[in-house]
Amino acid sequence: MVFGYARCSTNENKQDIERQVQDLKNMGAKKIFQEYESGSNTKRPQLKKLQEQIKKGDTLIVLELSRITRSVHHLCHILEWASDQNITIKAGGFTADCNNGIDPMVESMFLMMGIFAQMERKMTIRRVKSGVANARAKGIKLGRPALTKSKLPQAFLNHYPTYQKGSLTKAEFARLCNCSRPSLYRYLEIIENDQTKNK
């Protein structure tokens, strides 16, 4: 059985995972696990499910080694797991056949790729931190602008009077506004605080 694993760091509204999925299908993956998680997170639900379902003699395909991990320490555990389970891993044109213990040269190549993936992540974090510090030094405000009553979604404002009358549950209200429960609670807090101030 050939398994595929696709990963993006941010959610589906920001990054498109479909290109990875299509490429994995073209490479022969029959079952593909996908998730939006940081590559440094070693406790990913879909990766865990994949590791539970893949069996001896199966193959795992990722487009790049960084899709499965951006941590050299975690990569060592992945290679050890693959060797113990006799799994073949294909990543970025390289194949680690772990059916009879991984070849030392291949293992070294994978570890080198892992070092570069980890280094790339650390350099990105450093650039971001430097950019944030530079922006703050210039007095630039970062983060989302404060949400006020005038900026609340129109759908929320339209249905709020009905909710106030007790004709809508919070779940129904959130569904009508096409928003999450946490977002709804934030909107309610804003409008209720505004009403308190104006009393």
The active-site residue out of 9, 38, 83, 183 is 9
Q: How far apart are CA 4 and CA 21, in angstroms?
A: 8
Does the active-site annotation cover 108? no
Q: How far apart are CA 124 and CA 129, in angstroms?
A: 9
The answer to whether the CB of 113 falls within 8 A of the CB of 92 is yes
Which tokens sit at 71? 């941590």
Q: How far apart are CA 86 and CA 105, in angstroms?
A: 17
The answer to whether the CB of 81 falls within 8 A of the CB of 49 is no
The answer to whether the CB of 28 falls within 8 A of the CB of 61 is yes
The answer to whether the CB of 96 falls within 8 A of the CB of 89 is yes
Cα dist from 95 to 35, 88, 117, 120, 166, whole Å:
23, 7, 17, 22, 61
| Catalytic site positions | 9
